[in-house]
């Protein structure tokens, strides 16, 4: 029988890479201010994503700044996504007046998540967005941007007091309800950003886990009757292809949802009530 623990390793972070042919690479520990800091697979993949984005988008930005017309399918595809995020995500959620200031943040957020998701489609790599540490860090960046933007727009006191809806209440009732509503709104603000991390984690983790389980059925029936093994192999491979196509769609969808909700939260911080 197959080991569920081994299946879980497919979607877990690790201090190295498990390559085909039984080759295992172990990443070194780095000394940071006298403390040993272990590099992990997801850390390396995130650095690779950052390098990919620099290599792709720095030359693209230079061409766009020079006013060159888009040439080639890749350039047209990337520019179409950039314009879609600007016109259909940022400006409707934040407002045409303020949206362009946040486009670099939203563009980087979308493509970082997208490429991390797509790396999970490559055998023997993995998706960094299947880790709570990664999705939690992304959600914290959005939270910091939301709160910082709101405080800049309304002032430190104005932003936090503006979380409470304006209500015409008698004095004693206001003293009781407004602090309670303030606590509820602050908790709601934290929960909304926490859900960003959990939603992305759950979708990426679950999809890859299901794919790993389906493929593991082939090994689980390897020592049974040949007819049974062939049937399971064909069914598992067909299911793996279908799940992979679904995962490809989910990779784009989850990057879009995360970016859209981030823009929505920033817009709500600027335009309170």
206-246: per-residue pLDDT in tens? 776 777 777 777 666 767 767 776 777 777 777 777 777 77
- Give the tokens for residue 50: 């950052």
First to last CA, the chain: 57
- Bridge partners (DSSP) listed for residue 29: 38
pLDDT(1) > 50:
no
What totals of helices (H) and strands (E) does the chain contain, helices first?
A: 9, 4
- Bridge partners (DSSP) listed for residue 38: 29
Q: Where are the domains of the chain?
A: 4-270
pLDDT(4) > 50:
no
Closest among 46, 67, 193, 174 to 120, alpha carbons compared: 46
The predicted pLDDT at position 11 comes to 63
Backbone angles phi, psi at 253, to 5 degrees: -65, -45
Determine which of 29-38, 61-70, 98-107, 215-224 has the lowest per-residue pLDDT on average: 215-224
pLDDT(65) > 70:
yes
9-45: per-residue pLDDT in tens? 556 777 776 666 667 777 787 777 777 777 888 888 8
Classify the phi-psi angles of 165: left when phi > 0, otherwise alpha if psi is within -120 to 50, otherwise beta. beta
pLDDT(140) > 90:
yes
The predicted pLDDT at position 3 comes to 47
Backbone angles phi, psi at 23, to 5 degrees: -85, 130
């Amino acid at each position: 029988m197959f080991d569920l623990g081994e299946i879980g390793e497919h979607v877990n972070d690790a201090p190295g890479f498990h390559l085909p042919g039984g080759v295992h690479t172990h990443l070194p520990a780095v000394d940071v201010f006298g403390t040993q800091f272990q590099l992990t697979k997801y850390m390396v993949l995130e650095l690779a994503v950052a390098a990919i984005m620099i290599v792709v988008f720095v030359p693209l930005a230079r061409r766009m700044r020079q006013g060159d017309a888009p040439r080639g399918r890749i350039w047209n595809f990337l520019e179409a996504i950039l314009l879609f995020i600007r016109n259909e995500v940022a400006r409707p959620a934040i407002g045409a007046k303020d949206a362009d200031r946040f486009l670099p943040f939203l563009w980087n957020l979308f493509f970082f998540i997208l490429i991390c998701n797509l790396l999970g489609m490559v055998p023997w790599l993995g998706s960094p967005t299947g880790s709570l540490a990664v999705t939690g860090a992304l959600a914290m960046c959005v939270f910091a941007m939301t709160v910082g933007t709101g405080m800049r727009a309304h002032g430190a006191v104005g932003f936090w007091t503006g979380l409470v809806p304006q209500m015409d209440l008698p004095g004693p009732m206001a003293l009781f309800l407004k602090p309670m509503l303030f606590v509820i709104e602050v908790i709601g603000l934290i929960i909304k950003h926490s859900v960003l991390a959990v939603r992305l984690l759950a979708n990426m983790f679950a999809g890859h886990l299901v794919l790993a389980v389906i493929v593991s059925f082939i090994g689980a029936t390897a020592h049974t009757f040949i007819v049974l093994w062939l049937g399971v192999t064909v069914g598992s491979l067909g299911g793996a292809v279908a799940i992979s196509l679904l995962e490809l769609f989910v990779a784009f969808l989850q990057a879009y949802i995360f970016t859209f909700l981030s823009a929505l939260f920033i817009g709500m911080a600027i335009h309170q009530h």
